[in-house]
Structure 1
Amino acid sequence: MGGRAEHPELWEFLESLHGAERLCGTVAAIERFGVFVALDEGPAHPVFPGVGFITIPELSWHRIESAYDVVQVGGRVSCEFLQFDTWNLEARLSLRATQPDPFQEFVDSVPAGQKLTGPVTKLIPFGVFVEVADGIEGLVHLRELTRDPVQSPADVVQVGDEITVVVTEIDRERRRLALSRAE
């Protein structure tokens, strides 16, 4: 992309940024791999539509189908600075870091042992995911799905089935919820 000598103003700007700093700008382009942001402060980018870049996972705490679910070209955003990407000469940004984490809010109010009901969202070889609150999913391991041994989760439930589960373990750091099917 070019070193310090080719783009001194851009390097200087990016090196001046600090973690968790708030940066504002305008969405310049939306790609399937992320969103370019033209920052209010700082220089233009020599190649990309903006110096700021938000990867898809950093757009929202919720699972989204497309960046268009969250932002539009020309829209204003206020993001948190994550890091200086020296390869692409861009500021990696997070939109979701500026919003409360719904997982942490959820586990503040739901203790282990709590019964919850929700739809099965996904089957995987060793269990199923169940949505227990808006955008909050937990895993029911295959051995926790039924008392009878089964080969596959599909032998017991299908995507869309509403099932009652119990919260067995909360991992705040990794944002994981372990569930067991309530009998």
Structure 2
Amino acid sequence: MSWHRFDKASDIVQIGQRVSCEFLGFHTSNGEARLSLKAMQPDPFTVFADSVREGQVLCGRVTKLVPFGAFVELADGVEGLVHLRDLTEVPVETPEEGVRVGGELLVVVLEVDREHRRLALARHQVLSDFW
């Protein structure tokens, strides 16, 4: 439905709303057509990847904490992962020890993986460069 995160379909479309979408296929077993709104929109990851380079320092917002690190939104619909080992100068066991959801973070782009649509980021290298 969308390149962006959403909680429920009504965040994207409303009942009765006219939309343009791409036809993906037809299920003969249940008579349903598969359609995609997402296919009609530019991929924000590709647009972002075209404008960023490895080693570039960016500011982002922490959107989610997971046991192995923190996801940071760098552009609308584009998030990257700061692995736990790259989150702070001093090793931590949980991401909550270094950042909080909603917090702003300076990160450096370590890798742009276009094939898997992933960004690897680090925070501790940014801190090292400034201190």
Provide TM-score, normalisation by structure 1. Answer: 0.65
**Structure 2 gaps, min length 5:** none
- Identify the residue that residue 112 of structure 2 maps to in structure 1: 170
Deviation at 1:134, TM superposition (A): 1.4
Deviations along 1:108-129, one digit per CA (max 9) or x if unpaired, are: 0011111111111111000000
Following the alignment from structure 1 to structure 2, what is the Cα–Cα distance between the partners of residues 151 and 85?
47
1:105 maps onto 2:47 in alignment: yes
What is the letter of the counterpart of residue 67 of structure 2? Answer: P
Following the alignment from structure 1 to structure 2, what is the Cα–Cα distance between the partners of residues 173 and 84?
27
SS state of the match for residue 48, structure 2?
helix
Q: What aligned pairs does 1:84-163 form with structure 2 within 5 A after superposition?
A: 84-163=26-105
What is the letter of the counterpart of residue 117 of structure 1? Answer: C
Deviations along 1:28-57, one digit per CA (max 9) or x if unpaired, are: xxxxxxxxxxxxxxxxxxxxxxxxxxxxxx
Provide TM-score, normalisation by structure 2. Answer: 0.89
| Identity value in percent | 65
Aligned pair partner of 2:15 in 67, 73, 77: 73
SS state of the match for residue 137, structure 1?
strand
What is the letter of the counterpart of residue 114 of structure 1? Answer: Q
- Identify the residue that residue 52 of structure 1 maps to in structure 2: none
Deviation at 1:96, TM superposition (A): 0.8
- Identify the residue that residue 46 of structure 1 maps to in structure 2: none
Aligned pairs, number = 125
- Identify the residue that residue 26 of structure 1 maps to in structure 2: none
Deviation at 1:88, TM superposition (A): 2.4
Deviation at 1:75, TM superposition (A): 1.1
CA RMSD of aligned residues (A): 1.2
SS state of the match for residue 71, structure 2?
strand
Following the alignment from structure 1 to structure 2, what is the Cα–Cα distance between the partners of residues 180 and 79?
37
> Which of structure 1's runs of 4+ aligned residues deviate more than 6 A?
none
Higher relative contact order (CA 8 A, sep 6+): 2
